[in-house]
Amino acid sequence: MINSGLSQSNFVLCFPIIPGVCGQVIKLHRRRLGSAGLQGYQIISAINAGSVTVIKKQFKDISLFACFAQDMATGSSSQRIGVVGYGHIGQYLVEKILKDGSAFGLTLAFVWNRNPNKLKGSVPAELILGDLTSFADRRCDVIIEVCHPQIVKDFGLRFLSQSHFLVGSPSALSDPDLNQKLRQAALQYERTLYIPNGALWGGQDIQRMNDNGKLKALFIRMSKHPSCFRLTGDVLSDWTEGEGRRVLFRGSVAELCPIAPNNVNTMAAAALAAGTLGFAGVQGEIVSDTALSDYHVVEVEVSGPDGFSVHTVRRNPAKLGAVTGNATYDSFWNSLLFCKGHGGRVYLC
């Protein structure tokens, strides 16, 4: 970073394209964005090999600008994205890519949904994939699964043979056999198996503690209104409004994932970040609470050596009946922006 006498809120950045030959100098200006007065960043000029180009791009977050700048510096071509699943998160991502994808070097390659009729009128006909087994014909750089753990089981290995794979249902990896096979496929094909943070707060810190041998224990509690749970069996079939708080399950994440495959992907992401503990070692608890009509609560307790501990509480606004909290949508989008290829491994993003 080179500061050429600008204020602390402005920056001049230099990204080499061909070392010693030419580069790009980007002047970044911090300003208010829109009528809401949100603070953000706008590129006001870029200089490449002596010529000045004005670029009208705005970013609410400096990390999003970093993704864009990385693409400019490396001359990256547009990434082709396939979206598997058209529920709430799938719809959000498809609309976001169609609207803003070009600004971030993203192009929609296909959308698949178990019920294709749901796509008609919402997704351009040429982007609708009728048969998921023909996904390879669309030549994707990244495939995003936001559908169901069964899709990860049925297609995960095939997806990794052709592209990087962002797993929106990481609870599928609680199956140790599938987990191992996907890791081997990522290594074999030199593709990255991406795990989005989703509603997990501090995932990278957990992963660093794990990698440094400092992680001793990890516990996650997820509390939601009973209408927000999608559980197997009749665990919560008898709930009544006003009943208050009820612990539905407490135990290992490995045991919990089959019970609530659509609700505990945050816990699954944590178990993958805490690789030494794994799904069997990370402990989880799901709580039904009729008082939580406006948000979901995720509590994470991390324990390290010599009494070290961290306890975080995340309140995510959510409507009644919503499996996914509002803030998680943006989290998925940010995860997608980091799917640039990180080698044949599992990568939390």
Report pTM: 0.76
Partners of 250 in the beta sheet? 285
> Which candidate, 43, 45, 94, 97, places its Cα nearest to that of 66?
43
The residue segments making up the domain with residue 153 are 79-199+331-348
In a shared domain, residues 192 and 337: yes
In a shared domain, residues 105 and 193: yes
Count of the separate structural domains present in the chain:
3
In a shared domain, residues 170 and 318: no
Q: At what angle do helices 326-337 and 88-100 cross, to 10 degrees?
A: 50
In a domain? residue 5: no
DSSP states along 217-256:
EEEEEEEE-GGG---STTTTTT--TT--EEEEEEEEHHHH
pLDDT tens across the length of the chain (349 residues)? 333 343 444 444 444 433 333 334 444 444 443 433 334 444 444 444 333 333 444 544 444 555 455 444 444 568 999 999 999 999 999 999 999 999 999 999 999 999 999 999 999 999 999 999 999 999 999 999 999 999 999 999 999 999 999 999 999 999 999 999 999 999 999 999 999 988 888 999 999 999 999 999 999 999 999 998 988 877 777 888 888 999 999 999 999 999 988 888 999 999 999 999 999 999 999 999 999 999 999 999 999 999 999 999 999 898 888 888 788 889 999 999 999 999 999 999 9
In a domain? residue 163: yes
